[in-house]
Amino acid sequence: MSAGFNKGARIAVALVLASTLAGCGTATVVRPSGGAISTTPKTSVAQPGKSVRVQKGDTIYALARIHSITPADLIAWNSLTNPSTIYPGQVIRLYPPGASSGRAPTTVVTAPRAGNGTTASSPATSTPAAAPVRSNISWRWPADGSIVGRFVAGETTRQGVDIAGTSGQAVKAAADGVVVYSGAGLVGYGELIIIKHNEQWLSAYGHNRKRLVNEGQNVKAGQQIAEMGRTGANRDMLHFEIRYNGKPVDPQQYLPAR
């Protein structure tokens, strides 16, 4: 596993890079004198056992304001090194680690959209990580090469597999889908591509030398989407993740044997 992934809580994987400035803009009011003050809380009100599921357009600053938690605490409680990298489907905890009683499933609600003061009322429970979730997707290996880093359940530094290879080697889409992120805005992951396969499943491809697809582009399984590289890594390799409802699963439970 590369050093960049030792802060694995950052990806989670970013489907949308929300603008920090946009978040701050919705978190201020203007005094008659023309000065601006933040409406985000100065002290946090933790909500043990409760989390929110991020929607497109949400920001850490907006979520903090709505749920009466300081942005700094929300970032710390979720081990976010960059508050601009939350993504749709990600679950944000509204309490510090260890504060949940553990007696009941964590309640997850849909997060309000940025700039919208209403809260969705469709609670759900967190997905158990014990058994692999069935997938109706025919997954393919995204690159040839030996595995030099494996998935470990519950270990935030090992949320996917690392496949060693050579610079410029083809990186291919693991299944049909649409590119929802193509960029280098997430520190530690280099040139990153994320493909959405349906409402539950997505895959991520990091450390590329060159990206060959753009956001919004439809891709087919086996289509080359990038060239392997070492951006954000100490060797030429591909970091590959499969996520179900925003949560990482072991790619080797879904990829064909080889």
Same domain, 139 and 249: yes
Evaluate if residue 137 carries a pLDDT over 80: yes
Whole-number Å distance between alpha carbons of 226 and 165: 13
Average pLDDT over residues 119-144: 66
Tell me the pLDDT band of 108, cut-offs 50, 70 and 90: low
Average pLDDT over residues 170-185: 93
DSSP 3-state of 9: helix
Same domain, 146 and 121: no
Q: What is the DSSP letter of 196?
A: E
Instruction: Look at the block and give the residue holding tokens 């025919």.
Output: 138
Same domain, 201 and 162: yes
C-alpha Rg value of the chain to the nearest Å = 19
- pLDDT, residue 201, reads 94
10 Å CB burial of residue 7 (0-12, 13-18, 19+) is: middle
In the structure encoding, which two tokens stand for residue 86, read together?
Answer: 């939350």
Mean pLDDT lowest among 186-190, 210-214, 232-236: 186-190
Same domain, 107 and 83: yes
Whole-number Å distance between alpha carbons of 31 and 65: 18
- pLDDT, residue 41, reads 62
Domain assignment present for residue 121? The answer is yes
β-strands 107-110, 50-53 pairing: parallel
Pick from 169, 219, 167, 168: which is nearest to 193 by CA?
219
Domain CATH number, residue 238: 2.70.70.10
Average pLDDT over residues 225-249: 92
Same domain, 103 and 156: no
Whole-number Å distance between alpha carbons of 113 and 178: 23
Domain assignment present for residue 2? The answer is no
Where a domain ends, among 125, 159, 193? 125
Tell me the pLDDT band of 131, cut-offs 50, 70 and 90: low
Where a domain ends, among 82, 101, 125? 125
- pLDDT, residue 250, reads 93
| Domain limits for position 108 | 20-125
Mean pLDDT lowest among 71-75, 171-175, 193-197, 225-229: 71-75
- pLDDT, residue 165, reads 95
Domain assignment present for residue 4? The answer is no
Same domain, 62 and 40: yes
Same domain, 141 and 56: no
Count of Cβ atoms closer than 10 Å to residue 2 Cβ = 21
∠ CA 94-95-96, nearest 5°, is 135
Where a domain ends, among 100, 125, 150? 125
Same domain, 146 and 245: yes
Same domain, 162 and 202: yes
- pLDDT, residue 230, reads 93
Same domain, 83 and 177: no
More confident residue, 139 or 22: 139
Whole-number Å distance between alpha carbons of 223 and 186: 24
Domain count, the chain: 2
Same domain, 120 and 144: no
Domain assignment present for residue 3? The answer is no
Same domain, 63 and 146: no
Residues 6+ apart with CB under 8 A from 244: 127, 133, 135, 200, 201
Instruction: Quickly list H helices, the chain.
Output: 20-25, 60-66, 71-77
Domain assignment present for residue 12? The answer is no
- pLDDT, residue 252, reads 93
Domain assignment present for residue 165? The answer is yes
The whole model's pTM is what?
0.55
What's the pLDDT tens digit per position in 21-54?
Answer: 223 333 333 333 333 333 446 788 888 888 888 8
- pLDDT, residue 85, reads 65
